Amino acid sequence: MDVPVRTRISDYHSYLSLVLGLEPRSAGMRNSEIREVMNATSDFLRGASANDLAKRGRQIESLLQRVVEISRPRHQPRRDPLLIGREFRLIAAQSEDIWRYGIPYGWLAENFTTPSHVLPFALPAHARVGLGHHSGYISVEEGQLLKDMFVLLELARGASRRMSGLSNTIAEPTSIDEAHATHRRLTAVNMNLATYSRLGVVSAAAFVETFVNSVGATEASAPGRSREDGEILNGSKKGRFLGLEFKLEHFPAIIRDDRKAPIVLSDEKQLREPFRRFLSETKGIRDASVHFAPSKASILCTPMEWLDRVEHAVNDALAVAKEFWKACYPARGFPEYLDHLDGDRLTQDAIERLSLDVDVE
């Protein structure tokens, strides 16, 4: 079927909007001449009559085709750019604000040989790739939770330092009012330490579960995957949701070519660290914090106990994630999109992030 020239122009324009949106600000594809062509095309499409399209449509279409060819070395389409552009326009119209939240990496990987030259390799399909002002950045749920737990750990450490400083410098109060003020201040810092620590533990548990689910979902659609294995990797079996322990133990055996299961959690004698403490302490505190019951872990404890809990939770969550990744992919390095699961780097990023969050008068 012959596609109207207006539709072809719109499709090429949408395609170029996508590839231009993926480009860093300094890239050649975002130069002023190309931007001028894009803006002029937008204006033309908004007001073009049938007569205008008959006179200038082919010329504009030819110009856009040349720009598409210029983009090919950096963004190599797997399909006809017209079809990619049309689909991108539909996604933009039907979904969330993609210019704010990004476009799914899985869709880009289906449509381009090199989805974006500035992105880390082996992203999960659900990762969101930034466009326009956010080009070059990615957002993925497990990455957010990973950063959260390190930021909350640094906040807890800061509250602990402030509490120690207050305890060391406060002199004997001279009045009841001064004693009351001192007590209120120490109580506030104490409560903040508990808040940051508790949320840090919850984030650590959430990160591990989200990370495991992400790996499973990415692998579920691998070529040649059986329907049964795909269902398990998506987190259920015969319609029933699977627990974290089952996923940690069974996902690697499905993913690996040799079908080995290096992680054993169902046998107490083979249960080892960091899984033992993570499952008994971190997951236990998370469960008590999210849906408390008297029989569950206590969420009332001293400030130093809370600091120990969040330190253990963050360290153990990172170690569990590393062990799980190595169990699934013994020949791969740790995921680049998660800063290689490097605790020192993640700590420094958290410290820098907090240092930038200051009031500007």
pLDDT at residue 209, as a whole number: 96
- Which of 173-187, 280-294, 307-321 has the highest average model confidence (pLDDT)? 307-321
Per-residue pLDDT band for 293 (boundaries 50, 70, 90) equals low
User: Is 104 in a helix, a strand, or coil?
Assistant: strand
Give residue 25's pLDDT: 65
pLDDT digits (tens, 9 = 90+) for 47-73: 888 888 888 889 999 999 999 998 888
CB-side exposure of 113: number of CA atoms within 13 Å?
A: 10
Q: pLDDT at position 322, please? A: 98
Helix (H, G, I), strand (E, B) or coil at 360: coil
pLDDT of residue 168: 64
Give me the torsion for CA of 299, 301, 303, 308, rounded to 10°.
-80
Residue 183 or 111, more confident = 111
H runs (alpha helix) in 48-175: 50-71, 81-94, 98-101, 105-111, 141-169
**Mean of the pLDDT values across residues 245-256?**
96
pLDDT interval class at 118 (50, 70, 90): low
| β-bridge mates for residue 139, sequence order | 128
Per-residue pLDDT averaged across 345-358, rounded? Answer: 93
- The per-residue pLDDT for 186 is 82
Do you find a cis peptide bond into 274, omega within 30 degrees of 0? yes
Q: Does residue 218 carry a pLDDT above 70?
A: yes
Sequence-distant (6+) residues with CB within 8 A of 182 are 166, 170, 173
Give the pLDDT confidence score for residue 172 in this predicted structure.
64
pLDDT by residue (tens digit) across 143-172?
999 999 999 999 999 999 988 887 766 656
Mean pLDDT of 4-11: 92
pTM: 0.85
CB neighbour list of residue 42: distance below 8 Å, 6 or more residues apart: 13
Picking from 55, 53, 42, 47, the residue whose alpha carbon sits closest to that of residue 10 is: 42
Q: How confident is the model at residue 338 (pLDDT cuts 50, 70, 90)?
A: very high
Question: What proportion of the chain, given as a percentage, has pLDDT over 70?
Answer: 89
Q: Say which residue, 116 or 6, is predicted with more confidence.
A: 6
Query: What is the model's pLDDT at position 194?
Result: 92
Task: Tell me the DSSP string of 266-284.
Answer: SSGGG--TTHHHIIIIIHH
**pLDDT score recorded for residue 361:** 46
Q: What pLDDT does residue 173 have?
A: 61
What is the reported pLDDT for 7? 92
Average model confidence (pLDDT) for the chain? 88
pLDDT at 179 (0 to 100) = 67
Domain residue extents for the chain: 5-139, 141-356
Rg of the chain, C-alpha, whole Å: 27
3-class secondary-structure state, position 123:
coil
Section 179-187 average pLDDT = 76
Judge whether residue 115 has pLDDT over 70.
no
Report the Cα 13 to chain-centroid distance in Å: 29
pLDDT average, residue stretch 76-95:
92
Average pLDDT, stretch 180-198?
86
Question: What average pLDDT score do residues 139-143 get?
Answer: 94
Q: Which pLDDT does position 222 carry in this prediction? A: 86
Find the mean pLDDT for residues 108-125. Answer: 74
Which of the pair, 204 or 76, is modelled with greater confidence? 204
Count how many Cα atoms sit within 13 Å of the Cα of residue 315 in the half-sphere of its side chain. 11
